[in-house]
Amino acid sequence: METSNLPAIRALRPAWNKDRIVGQKRPLKPKHVWAIRVRLELAENHRDLALFNLAIDSKLRGCDLVKMRVVDVMASGQIKERASVLQSKTQKPVRFEISEGTRASLARWMREPLMVGSEYLWPGRFHERLHISTRQYARIVRDWVTSIGLEASAYGTHSMRRTKVTQIYKKTGNLRAVQLLLGHTKMDSTVRYLGVELEDALVIAEAIE
């Protein structure tokens, strides 16, 4: 007796992006950066302050930032002025500066008891987790932006990556510099990454007859 093949039935799940704002996340403005820094300093949240500052300076993707090791930023007991990290997405190294304020916050974080003997810059709180996860980092970023009254859905971990390069592009218009800082292999990727700034350029152009 032959049996007919019935169509597979799948449980209906809500779309992952339902009721969410998706797309490119906004970079933080300088006033937002300073507002978050002040709040973290007043709260004496040394880990988050160091994490925030390094996220801005390094311009790294979240998956690379959370995996950073102490040796990536420290040599001979001193915080480096420049560092290099191998990007997990491209498998190519990218160099970045570590500003004076970021070096100071990192040095303060290094003195915390949680950092004693730690191989990673952002150790996890559980023994089975060597470092914080990208999901935990995303929650931390959400707490930062909501603490200063910003809409959480408009910002994310990529906001940290875009913040400094957006200001560099606004001040210099140098796409090549931004490409190198982000570790992009193609200029097209950098142009798409700065789409919001190109829209601003069009608005300016439209205002001139």
d(C-alpha 165, C-alpha 174), whole Å: 10
State pLDDT tens for residues 108-158.
999 999 898 889 999 987 655 689 999 999 999 999 999 999 999 999 999
**Structural domain count, the chain:** 1
63, part of any domain: yes
pLDDT at 8 (0 to 100):
53
Asked if the structure places residue 111 within a domain, the reply is yes
- Residue 86 belongs to domain with CATH number: 1.10.443.10
In a domain, 91, yes or no: yes
Residue 90 has pLDDT above 70, yes or no: yes
Q: Is residue 17 part of a domain?
A: no
pLDDT above 50 (res 101): yes
Q: How confident is the model at residue 5 (pLDDT cuts 50, 70, 90)?
A: low
pTM of the model: 0.81
Q: Considering the domain boundaries, does residue 186 fall inside one?
A: no
Comparing CA positions, the residue from 51, 75, 204, 64 lying closest to residue 141 is 51
* Least confident interval from 56-65, 70-79, 166-175: 166-175
Question: Does any domain span residue 13?
Answer: no
CA-to-CA distance for 46 and 146, rounded, in angstroms? 19
Residue 140 lies in a domain: yes
- Provide the pLDDT for residue 191: 78
What domain range includes position 138? 30-157
Region 36-41 average pLDDT? 97
**Is 61 inside any structural domain?**
yes
Residue 166: CA count within 13 A, CB half-sphere: 23
